[in-house]
Amino acid sequence: MNDSPHDVSNRALSNLDLETPEKPYLDSNELIINMGPQHPATHGVLRVILKLDGEKVLGTECVIGYLHRGVEKIAENRTYTMFNPYVDRMDYVAAVSNGLGYCEAVEKLMNVEAPARAKYIRVILTELNRIASHQLWLGTHALDIGAMTPLFYTFRDREEILKIFEKYCGARLTTHAFRIGGCQYETYAGFEKEVKNFLTFVAPKIDEYEELLTTNRIWIERTKNVGVISAADAIALGVTGPVLRASGVKWDLRKAQPYAAYSEFDFDIPTGTNGDTYDRYLVRMAEMRQSLRIIEQAVNRIPEGPIMAKVPKIIKPPVGEIYHSIEAPKGELGYFIVSDGSTQPYRLRVRPPSFVNLQALDTMVRGLLVADVVAVIGTIDIVLGEVDR
């Protein structure tokens, strides 16, 4: 089979031991199969090389980079302001979060602080975006496991969020909502009312998703004890976000290192116990409800005042370096910026949650079946734009 196009044995792949001579495939022999980059369940262009024994997964190897655009390198040749829209293109389903992290990082570097009103707007939009991201995750994850219908329900409701974004800043997906030092736009007339309407609209919808899935026997069988990762393993692998919290670690940067206005709100950190796919599902569903709580508080208490801090037209942060991270929907999104005092970053490094969480894939799927690989890829909630940058 050496001349077959599926042969990958010429690649030096570390943990798969692909160098062993190919044997005819009986159950004692391994089957090497390429999942992706063109595959319906790899959420874009992830390529997973699976080493199978029958249908049992003996090992995986992720091949990434099909969507690499050199975002970090681009940052070195753009001014701080010019680079701001680029971060939206990383995790494009949670563009607002990306923008928040970047703006706050640069603000920290420049030692300015956004005004209170801007912070509240940021929180509202970011939490809305978290709900949108989780909704998209839920739809695609359920689709991967074979439930087609939730996808359309979640997309219907995500649409309302995107409408709010569109009204606020004119864009739906890659919003570029925030600026360094605050927000560019004041909220439009009726913003608060619409957000409140959305809150009352979406709360029963989340119940609706849960009705479809949470007690569904097949859903439980497909997700319980699938892709289990222990708290220790998760921490060792640097996993963050809902995946970590589902393993029972109560770690949320919104509480641990409050940024924006998060210290002023009252919300819980939902955690799981088993660290399996079902717990991750429950954690994310609970997170959507917590986000609603945060938004409600923020909308009710939103202060009046300016929305932009005093920031010079040409941003020239002092020499130094900064690491700032926020709790993006998928986990810890960190920006490490080295400034040499010029208008452009000397070096900018992103710590994308998807990329780090993807490391856990191998740990999670070893010994499971092919169908579980799909479920686990879905449950990690990766966005390839962010993995590859």
Partner 1 sequence: MIPITTFHYLVVAAALFVLGVIGVLTRRNVVIVLMSIELILNAVNLNLVAFSRMWGNLHGQVFSIFVTVDAAAEAAVGLGILIAFFRNKETINVDEIDLLKW
Partner 2 sequence: MNPALNSGLNSAVNSGMAPVATPWFFYGLAGLAVVSGLLVITRRNAVHSALALIVTLLAVTGLYLMLYAPFVAAVQIFVYAGGIMLLFLFVIMLVNIERSSKDRQFNRMWPVGLAAACALLALFVSAFVKGKALFPDRTISLPESSNTQQIAGMLYGEAGTMGAYTFAFEIASLLLLVAILGAVIMTKKKV
Partner 3 sequence: MPNFIMSYLGIKDAITPGAAGSQFWALVYVFIIFAGVSVAVMAMNWLERKALAHFQIRLGPMRVGPHGLLQPIADAIKLMLKEDIIPAEADQFVFWVAPLIGLLAAFTVYTVIPFGPSQAVSDMNIGILFMLGVSSLGVLGIVVAGWASNSHYPLIGALRSSAQMVSYEVAMGLAVVSAILMTSLNATGTGTLSMIGIVQAQQQQGVWFIFKFFPLGLIAFGIFAIAMIAETNRAPFDMAEAESELTAGYHTEYSGLRWSLFMLAEYAAMIAVSSIAVALWLGGWMRPFPNLLQGPAWDFIFSLFPGLTFLGLAAIAVLGVMRMPSHSFFKIQRVGLAAFAAVLGFIALLLLVIAVAGRSADASGAMSPAARFREGIDYVYWFVFKVAVFMYLFIWYRATWPRYRFDQLMKIGWKVMLPISLVVLIATAIVGVLVS
Binding site for partner 2 (CB under 8 A): 1, 24-28
Which CB sits closer to partner 1, 5 or 21?
Answer: 21
**In Å, what is the CA distance from 191 to each residue of 46, 99, 158, 188, 344?**
38, 20, 17, 5, 35
Buried b (16+ CB within 10 A) or exposed e, 153-187: bbeebbebbbebbeebbeebebbbbbbbbbbeeeb
CA angle 118, 124, 130 (to 5 degrees): 130
Q: Which one, 277 or 325, has the nearer CB to partner 3?
A: 277
Task: Report if residue 26 touches partner 1, rule: CB under 8 A.
Answer: yes
Residue 367 Cβ vs partner 2, minimum distance, rounded to whole Å:
16
Q: State in angstroms the smallest separation of the CB of 320 from partner 3.
A: 47
Instruction: Name the token pair of 340.
Output: 């040499």
Nearer to partner 3, 33 or 162 (CB): 33
Contact partner at residue 236 from partner 2, partner 1, partner 3, none, CB < 5 to 8 Å by partner kind: none
Q: Which does 1 bind (CB under 5 to 8 A by kind): partner 3, partner 2, partner 1, none?
A: partner 2
Measure the CA–CA gap between 14 and 62, rounded to whole angstroms.
11
Identify the sign of the CA torsion 96, 236, 357, 278.
negative
Give the contacts of 175 (CB within 8 A, at least 6 positions apart). 88, 95, 96, 99, 125, 165, 168, 169
- Asked if 23 touches partner 1 (CB under 8 A), the answer is yes
Report the residue number, 26 or 189, with the smaller CB distance to partner 1: 26
Phi, psi angle pair for 369, to nearest 5°: -105, 170
CB 226 → partner 2: shortest distance, Å? 24
Taking the complex as a whole, the smallest distance from the CB of residue 29 to partner 1 amounts, in Å, to 9
d(CA 273, CA 247): 5
> Cα–Cα distance between 208 and 230 in angstroms, integer?
30
Instruction: Quote the least distance from Cβ 30 to partner 2, whole Å.
Output: 13
Closest to partner 3 by CB, 104 vs 157, is 157
Q: How many residues bind partner 1 (CB under 8 A)?
A: 5
Q: Amino acid identity, residue 347?
A: R
When asked if residue 24 is in the footprint of partner 1 (CB under 8 A), the reply is: yes
Partner from partner 1, partner 2, partner 3, none binding residue 145, C-beta < 5-8 Å depending on class: partner 3
DSSP 73-137: HHHTTS-HHHHHHHHHTTSGGGHHHHHHHHHHHHHHHHT----HHHHHHHHHHHHHHHHHHHHHH
CB of 55 to partner 2, least distance (A): 13
56-63 β-sheet, strand order? 31-35, 47-53, 56-63
Nearer to partner 3, 309 or 369 (CB): 369
Helix count and strand count (H, E) for the chain:
15, 8
By beta-carbon proximity to partner 3, the closer residue of 74 and 369 is 369
Cβ closer to partner 3: 19 or 27?
27
Least Å distance, CB 59 to partner 1, is 21
Residues found near partner 3 in the complex (CB under 8 A) = 4, 6, 31, 33-34, 39-41, 55, 142-149, 151-153, 156, 212-213, 216, 218-219, 221-222, 369-374
Least separation in angstroms between residue 33's CB and partner 3 is: 5
Measured distance CA(79)–CA(71) in Å, rounded:
13
Binding-site partner at residue 6 among partner 2, partner 3, partner 1, none, CB < 5 to 8 Å by type: partner 3
- Within residues 27-46, the interface with partner 1 by CB under 8 A covers 27-28
Q: What is the contact surface with partner 1 in residues (CB under 8 A)?
A: 23-24, 26-28
